[in-house]
Structures are given as C-alpha cells and as structure tokens.
Amino acid sequence: MPTETFEFQVEARQLLQMMIHSIYSNKDVFLRELVSNASDALDKLRLEALRDDSLDADVSDLHIAIETDRQARTLTVRDNGIGMSHDEVVQLIGTIANSGTAKFLRDFKEAESTAAAEGLIGQFGVGFYSSFMVADEVTLLTRRAGESQGTRWTSTGEGTYTIETVDSAPQGTAVTLRLKPEDTDDQLHDYVSPWKIREIVKRYSDFITWPVRMAPEAADGADGAEGADDAPREPETLNSMKALWARSRDEVTDDEYHELYKHISHDWSAPLETIRLQAEGTFEYQALLFIPSHAPQDLFMQGYQRGIQLYVKRVFIMDDCEALMPPYLRFVKGVVDAQDLSLNVSREILQQDRQIQLMHRRLAKKVLSTVKDMMSAEPERYATFWREFGRVLKEGLLSDFENREAILGVSSFATTHDKDEPTTLRQYVERMKDGQEHIFYLTGESRQAIENSPHMEAFRAKGVEVLLLTDPVDEVWVQAEPAFDGKQLRSVAKGEVDLGTEEEKKEAATEREGRQQEYSDLLGWMTDRLSGTVKEVRLSSRLTVSPACIVSDMHDVTPALENMYRAMGQDVPQVKRILELNPGHPLVSGLNRAHAERGEGDGTGLQETAELLHDLALLAEGGELGDPSRFVRLMADRLERTL
C-alpha cells in the first residue's frame, strides 16, 4: 500500500519540541499515558460490544500487553480494544492538539512553574506525544474493531509523519517505541528493563480495570517467553485491577486516589479534594469523586464533556454520564458504580431512570457539603476552589432551586468591606448594621466601575457594606431575589433606599417630605419632558455627591440583562427607568430655582438642561446614550457659553 508523508504544522511542531525537551520533569509518565490510552480503548470496545450485537470483534480476553526487545531496544504497548480507522488516525493522531494548539502554547509560555506547565497537558489531549521524550521513533499500528484493514502511523518527532494502510493488523492498537539510549543524567531510564516497567505500572496504573501483562524475564537474565525447559511461560499481570472505589479508605493511599483521578481526567495535577460516597439499602452504589485543583480551559465552551464515569457492577458503561451531575458541577470528575442498573442502559433511559435521579440529587448534595466543610476547615483550599469554579457554581442558583440555599452558603463575593478578600453571605450577615434589613449588592462590569457608581454614594457615606458582583451570571440569578438566612438580597440600583436606624429613617422621611413639596413642580415638569425615556423623575435618598442617577423599579429587568437577552436573539421590550435627583447638588437646586422663576417661558434652555442631566446620569453608570451626537452638540454649546 502507498505511504503518505505529511508535515506537522508550525505550531504542532513547536508543541512537539516542547513535549520532548521542556514540559515533562518525570519521563516515566510516558508509559502511564500509553497504558491509560489503551485502557480507554478497551472500555470503548466493551461498551460498543454491549450496544451492537453485530460487531465483529473478539472481546473474550481484553487486556493490555507490554512487550520489550532488549537487542532492538524497542518497547511496545498493545491492546485489543476498539482500535482506530484510517480517518480517525488522521484526525486524532495526525494533528497534535488540533482544537487548541495555539492556546496551549500561549498558556504554556505563561505558566510560572514546571508543575503548572505539566498541568496543561491533559487539557489538550497531547499525552500520547510524551512518547517522543524517550523514543527516537514512534510507530502506531491500529485496526478498528469490525474493519478488515489497519493503519500504520510513524514519526521521528521532527518535521514529518507517515501514514499507510496495511492489510494485516490485529484488532486494537499497538504503539512501538524505538528507545533512546539510557541516560540517567537526563532521567532516561532503562525502559526495556522488566523491573522498571513493573515499578511504573504499579505506581501509576495499578487500579486499571484491565490486566496489564508482560512476558516474564528469562532465567539467564535476558528477556524472553520461554524457560530453561523451552516451555512457554505465562505472562505476568502487573496490576492488581482492584477498583479503588470498592476498597475501604484504610486500604488506599492518597497517591493511589490521585493516580485514578489523573487517569480519569487526563489532568496532571493532583485533585483539590477527594470525595467518597457509599449508599446502601434498596439501591446500592459507590462513588469516588474528585474536585480538580484548576478549571479546564474549555469549561464554558459548548460541548464540554462531563467527567463522571458510570459503571454497573464494575463494568464500564460510559465516561461522560451527564445524568449523574448537574451542569453547574460539570467540573467534578470521578466514578459511580451502581449495582442494579441494566448493562445496556442508554443515555435516554438514564435521563428518566428514578434511581439515576436519586443518585444525581445525592451526589450534588455531597459535593456541596464537601465544599462547605472545606470553607470552614481549610479556607485556603476553599479560596482556590472558589477562584477556579465559583463562576460556574453560581449557575446552580438559576437551575437548582432545591439547593439554592446551600449554593449561596458556599459562595463568596467581592465586597466593599475588604478590597482584597471576598466575603461569604454568612460573614456579611454577621457584620450587618443595626436596623439593616437587606443584603445589598450592585452588579457591573468591574469592581472599579461599581465602586465609582453614583448608586454607591449613600452606602459609602453611611458605611453600609455592598456586594460587588461582576460575573455575567450574577446579572441573571440576582433577578430571582433570593434570600439568605431570612435576609433578602437587594440591589442598590433598584427601588428606593432607606438606610439608617429607625430614628434616622423618621428624620429622613420628614426632611424628604419637605423637599418633595419644594421640588414638586420641577419633578412633574421633568417627568413630562422626559417621558419618552423615563417613567418618573423623583428625589433621591442614595446620592450625596452626584447630581443625578438612574435606577430601576424593584421588579424591572436591568439594562445589562436586557442587552444579554437581545444578544441571545430574544425580543425584549425597552423598560423605562427612573431618574433620581440630588436636591443638595448645586446643579439640581439651581435648575429648580430657574424653573420656578422662568417656567415655560424659557423655551428650550431648561429642557436641554434636563436632557443633559439625564444623559450625564446614564453615562455615570456606564450606560449607552440614545443619541450621542445630540449630547455632544448640547455639551459643546453649554461649554461655549462659559467662555
């Protein structure tokens, strides 16, 4: 069959050189990657055979074989799993990290440490290429189960690779490495040595569900498959194949848990937290879950795959079981092993299965309770969790009403109380002033924009703490007006503000009543003149410095949320808002005097001033003007008159 030669793309070639020379501090991990890939292939074949009775594939003895040739200095990792077609080889092996090479390179260059760099590997599916750290040439021979022809992929890791179709190839995949010379100074060990292979498999892959076999060493010390009597010798199984989730906590080390996590997630960093759960009774299942130590790059991308593997009585069913974990916990990785589900269960059946729904609820509650415990017992680890996953966790406030209180309880927010440290709602409530009835917040694009908002003036003057919400999801979940510990969350940019003690509120009400009479004519006139853009003009109790601000009615949709809906293609009617005036500001008091003196006889002068006052308030909160050119013209005219 003809052999086709291809060139690596420039970015792919750069990435491959990094894999060989820069990224991996421990070269032993190449074998873990190859065994992990082989295990995945066996899982997929087992699942495919359960679902497709017509699949022409041998599943009688699924295993992983490691073969060495000391004279030729080659090492082969072979499996009889699902294999790959020619097109899959081109797509999956022929292109390095085809979905994110550029981003990987950028993130790698920005990584501050070797550990941080290694943590990027699994996110882009490039672990296979770690083989080139220890090999001068890598050959992959594969045949997909059910097909008659195989494919051979070969590369030296330089500028090119070759692909050819072969007539005779066993079912599955074999990766053969022509090893580099041993160099202990460069951490290049003797990877044809049986003891070294045993050590690596035991350390990294002992939990693999499938047997990892290796031909025993011959009696004279050389590798071989026959003993002194020339009788064939049985291959040695290197791994225990014990499911970690089925063993008691005392029998498993943290390192073993971490290796299982790395196998499931393809993440090179240790998990932030390990969660065990065993349910007994009418419906039995075991779960071993992991919270990663960092968020994957594609967490918010469409098509992000969940990380929960489903087993039934130790038999692998699927590796991204969405039905087991709510979307806002999609970052959680792990294994769930159920006892009473059907082996040929489908995704559609899972969505409707009552037992799956019960597991879904229990697992979500367990994760949230673990985060709560972390918050109180290990605040530094919790801070890492919230920094990496807080934004996605808050999505649950929109969808999981049953756990809303629990989600709010483990959430942290930026606050005016401390410019560096976020606060929990529990801490906020404990710091609330006497007479304060609500938890106040303000949404915006950045902390700086929120802190400079006119809406914050009275709160700053009275020392009332305000949550500063800058994530896009915050605009949505706060609209439901959730409560925490009996305290409603209230936007400082909505409704009327009534701060202070009961005595101060009474004094403010008396003063406001007098001001209302003084400004009633101006307020009525401005409401009429600005009726096309505002529903009402009223006096403000939230302003101390700015002349005016724009607020929403208590149950109105905010402008930011309006824009969000429109960006999603939804037709949202324009909501008129309220213009509040600061009666203590010279501009507003001057406008009131001018209106009292000149009234309607002023022509357009006062009306333009009222229009400018509205536009200035809109700009102060970061809003967009309806007619920017008119605003510029009016401002230029007013500035000219001052010269």
For residue 570, give both structure tokens: 């939804």
CB of 405 closer than 8 Å to CB of 413:
no
Domain boundaries, the chain: 4-216, 244-385, 411-491, 502-642
Residue 596 in this model has a pLDDT that exceeds 70:
yes
pLDDT of residue 122: 42
Task: Supply the pLDDT for residue 221.
Answer: 46
In this predicted structure, what is the pLDDT of residue 222? 47
Q: Measure the CA–CA gap between 137 and 127, rounded to whole angstroms.
A: 16
Angle between helices 628-642 and 605-620 (to 10 degrees): 120
Topology of the domain covering 4-216: Heat Shock Protein 90 (3.30.565)
347 among the known binding-site residues? yes
In the prediction, which pLDDT does 440 show? 92
Residue 128 labelled as part of a binding site:
yes
In degrees and rounded to multiples of 5, residue 414 shows phi and psi of: -65, 150
Two structure tokens written together for 106:
């950028």
CATH architecture of 502-642: Up-down Bundle (1.20)
Amino acid at site 451: E
Which range of 97-106, 159-168, 381-390 scores highest in mean pLDDT? It is 381-390
Residue 11, pLDDT above cutoff 70? no
Is a pLDDT exceeding 70 seen at residue 323? yes
The yes-or-no verdict on residue 104 having pLDDT over 60 is: no
pLDDT beyond 60 at 205: yes
| 500 assigned binding-site residue | no
Q: Give the pLDDT confidence of 360-395 residue by residue, as tens digits.
A: 999 999 999 999 999 999 999 999 999 999 999 999
146: pLDDT strictly greater than 60: yes
123: annotated binding-site residue? yes
pLDDT tens profile 109-136: 665 545 444 444 444 446 787 888 899 9
- Per-residue model confidence as pLDDT tens digits over 20-68: 665 556 788 788 889 888 988 998 898 888 878 788 888 889 999 999 9
User: Lowest-confidence range among 345-349, 488-492, 520-524, 628-632?
Assistant: 345-349
Share of the chain above pLDDT 70, in %: 86
**Which of 167, 163, 92 is CA-nearest to residue 129?**
92
Contacts 24+ apart (CB under 8 A), 226-231: none
Q: How many CB atoms lie within 10 A of CB 242?
A: 14
CATH number of 244-385: 3.30.230.80
pLDDT in tens, 399-447: 898 999 999 999 999 999 998 899 999 999 999 988 788 899 998 888 9
Which of 82-91, 169-178, 220-229, 497-506 has the highest mean predicted lDDT (pLDDT)?
169-178
Calculate helix-pair angle for 605-620, 586-598, nearest 10 degrees: 160
**Predicted pLDDT of residue 120:** 46
Burial status of residue 317 (CB atoms within 10 A of its CB: 0-12, 13-18, 19 or more): buried
pLDDT at 595: 86
Token pair 């009418």: residue: 282
Task: Kindly indicate the confidence band of residue 275, based on its pLDDT and cuts at 50, 70 and 90.
Answer: very high
Question: Would you say 124 is a known binding-site residue?
Answer: yes
Q: Average model confidence (pLDDT) for the chain?
A: 83
Does 470 count as an annotated binding residue? Answer: no
Q: Confirm or deny that 355 is annotated as ligand binding.
A: no
Segment holding 580, helix H or strand E: strand 577-581
Task: Label residue 97 by pLDDT band (50, 70, 90).
Answer: very low
Does residue 220 carry a pLDDT above 50? Answer: no
Give CB contacts under 8 A, 24+ apart, made by 357-363.
357/323, 358/283, 359/279, 359/285, 359/287, 359/324, 360/323, 360/324, 360/325, 360/326, 361/402, 362/277, 362/279, 363/277, 363/287, 363/289, 363/324, 363/325, 363/336
CATH no. for 411-491: 3.40.50.11260
> Across-strand partners of 275?
289
For the beta sheet containing 135-143, the strands, ordered from the edge strand earlier in sequence to the opposite edge, are: 3-7, 160-166, 150-155, 135-143, 172-179, 74-79, 64-69, 212-214, 236-237
Query: How many C-beta atoms lie closer than 10 Å to residue 524's C-beta?
Result: 11
Q: What percent of the chain has pLDDT over 90?
A: 32
Average pLDDT of 565-574?
72
Question: Is 488 assigned a ligand-binding role in the annotation?
Answer: no
pLDDT score, position 483 = 85
Give the confidence band of 98 by pLDDT, cuts at 50, 70, 90. Answer: very low
Check pLDDT > 90 for residue 237. yes
Is residue 89 very low, low, confident or very high in pLDDT (cuts 50, 70, 90)?
confident
Crossing angle (nearest 10°) for helices 379-393 and 354-377: 140
Partners of 490 in the β-ladder: 440
Residue 99, marked binder? yes
d(CA 618, CA 635): 15
> Using N-to-C axis directions, what is the helix angle for 502-529 and 586-598, rounded to 10°?
50
DSSP E strands in 294-345: the ranges are 307-312, 315-318, 333-338
Per-residue pLDDT averaged across 494-521, rounded? Answer: 77
For residue 465, the SS3 value is coil
Cα separation of 417 and 415, whole Å? 5
Residue 444 in marked binding region: no
